[in-house]
């Protein structure tokens, strides 16, 4: 009898100890979570209405940031350099300049040293460049752009005109060539393609691809259409919504605009959807990491094999080749890697644009990838970042690009 009572007491004591242990463990877990929550909040910073933790933007992102709202609500006449354009999405203001004096344009909206464009001279070969910020020459002075270096490399018998515009996709660059070529009558047209352009080609809003872009306007794009001889169909041309201020209305309720959203391969609803669980900064940070990671992987997949990013870019390049040749000019296609992709040229098997290489070759489209030449100019043990500023080629890299492309233009 005593033994049974002792056994019962021992069992009760064990249960009490077990419950206390569980309670203490839960208490410790709550304390740890609270401390982590506090730490995440301390590490958070807010800029322009957007919260970030050590550089990671926390979801939900505003469909239209405060910075974009200010640009979209600014009268076009007050924008000093880049302005909205009904056909191209945006373009460079004729005779424009940036507040810091780094960029200036001539009367046709071409980046240049401030000087008028003379009539085309007999015996002089006119070269028109189109592309994105790599072609425009972001982050460097005019004298350090590869456009200017190319002019020096080619000599007095050539005239180089820079039609590059920051933030452009390959689609916009080709449409800009269509606009400029009849007036400028170039002998050679160079289309610059940066690896990120393959993604920009898949959206009708630059900010959907890159929420903190400088260019918040809508843009045209080509979609795959095998019924067309080019394999492409141009949509959102002229661009909608228009005027530019209506971009705010559309993006804040994108689901109500299926005619745009269904052709926007990069739209990610999870990036902008709010949740009551985000009242916890820790949970919001964990979720944000997953959403950004999944978004990155999805986009990387678009750049592989014969996926949409690769096929659309290659077909646009082929369209450019056909149209430029039909206009009596010679097409040159230049491919630009980013700093992360430069080491991939070392073994010749992993250049970042290798899938685009294969698709262009399959279509019979000639191109020049400047990545190998850039890698070869690095000193032993020199990091690839040495050839890039924040995200664009340094003056040294621009010289390499110019000397690499010059033989293909002569």
**Exposed/middle/buried for residue 397 (C-beta within 10 Å: 0-12, 13-18, 19+):** buried
Average pLDDT over residues 333-345: 93
Average per-residue pLDDT in the chain? Answer: 92
Could you give the count of Cα atoms lying within 13 Å of 8 in the half-sphere of its Cβ?
A: 5
Residue % of the chain over a pLDDT of 90: 79
Is 89 found in the same domain as 210? yes
Q: How many Å apart are CA 326 and CA 295, to the nearest integer? A: 40
The first and second tokens of residue 370, run together, are 């400047």
Query: Is 59 inside any structural domain?
Result: no
Contacts of 245 (CB under 8 A, 6+ apart): 72, 73
Query: Is 54 inside any structural domain?
Result: no
Is 200 found in the same domain as 114? yes
The answer to whether residues 59 and 287 touch, using CB atoms and an 8 Å cutoff, is yes
Chain-centroid distance, C-alpha 59:
20
Q: What is the pLDDT at residue 400?
A: 98
The first and second tokens of residue 233, run together, are 């169909």
Is 84 found in the same domain as 24? no
**How many structural domains comprise the chain?**
2
The conformational region for residue 98 under phi > 0 = left, psi -120 to 50 = alpha, else beta, is beta
Query: Is 139 inside any structural domain?
Result: yes
Summarised one tens digit per residue, pLDDT across range 348-405 is: 888 999 999 999 999 999 999 999 999 999 999 999 999 999 999 999 999 999 999 9
89: containing domain? 66-409
Instruction: For residue 160, give the CATH number of its domain.
Output: 3.40.50.1110
Summarised one tens digit per residue, pLDDT across range 253-263 is: 999 999 899 99
Contacts of 207 (CB under 8 A, 6+ apart): 64, 65, 68, 213, 215, 216, 251
Query: Is 381 inside any structural domain?
Result: yes
Query: Is 240 inside any structural domain?
Result: yes
State yes or no: pLDDT of 118 exceeds 90: no
């Amino acid at each position: 009898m005593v033994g049974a009572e002792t056994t019962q007491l021992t069992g009760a004591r064990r249960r009490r100890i077990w419950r206390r242990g569980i309670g203490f463990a839960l208490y410790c877990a709550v304390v740890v979570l609270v401390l982590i929550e506090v730490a995440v909040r301390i590490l958070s910073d807010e800029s322009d209405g957007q919260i970030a933790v050590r550089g990671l933007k926390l979801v939900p992102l505003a469909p239209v940031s405060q910075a974009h709202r200010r640009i979209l609500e600014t009268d076009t006449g007050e924008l000093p350099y880049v302005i909205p354009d009904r056909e191209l999405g945006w373009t460079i203001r004729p005779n424009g300049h940036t507040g810091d004096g780094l960029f200036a344009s001539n009367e046709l909206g071409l980046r240049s040293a401030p000087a008028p464009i003379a009539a085309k001279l007999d015996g002089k070969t006119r070269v028109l460049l189109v592309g994105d910020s790599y072609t425009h020459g972001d982050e460097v002075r005019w004298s350090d752009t590869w456009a200017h270096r190319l002019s020096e490399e080619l000599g007095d018998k050539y005239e180089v005109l820079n039609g590059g515009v920051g933030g452009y996709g390959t689609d916009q660059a080709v449409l800009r060539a269509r606009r400029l070529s009849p007036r400028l009558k170039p002998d050679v047209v160079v289309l610059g393609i940066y690896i990120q352009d393959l993604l920009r080609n898949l959206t009708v809003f630059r900010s959907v691809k890159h929420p903190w872009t400088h260019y918040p306007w809508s843009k045209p794009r080509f979609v795959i259409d095998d019924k067309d001889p080019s394999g492409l169909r141009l949509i959102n041309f002229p661009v909608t919504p228009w005027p530019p201020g209506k971009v705010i209305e559309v993006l804040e309720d994108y689901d109500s605009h299926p005619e745009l959203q269904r052709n926007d391969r990069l739209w990610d609803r999870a990036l902008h959807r709010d949740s009551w669980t985000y009242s916890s900064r820790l949970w919001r940070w964990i979720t944000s990491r997953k959403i950004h990671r999944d978004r990155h992987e999805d986009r990387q997949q678009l750049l592989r094999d014969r996926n949409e990013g690769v096929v659309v870019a290659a077909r646009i390049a082929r369209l450019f080749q056909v149209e430029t040749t039909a206009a009596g000019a010679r097409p040159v296609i230049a491919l630009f890697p980013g700093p992360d992709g430069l080491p991939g040229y070392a073994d010749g098997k992993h250049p970042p644009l290798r899938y685009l290489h294969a698709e262009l070759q399959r279509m019979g489209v000639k191109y020049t990838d400047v990545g190998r030449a850039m890698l070869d100019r690095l000193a032993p043990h020199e990091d690839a970042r040495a050839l890039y500023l924040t995200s664009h080629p340094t003056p040294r890299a621009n010289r390499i690009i110019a000397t690499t492309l010059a033989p293909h233009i002569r």
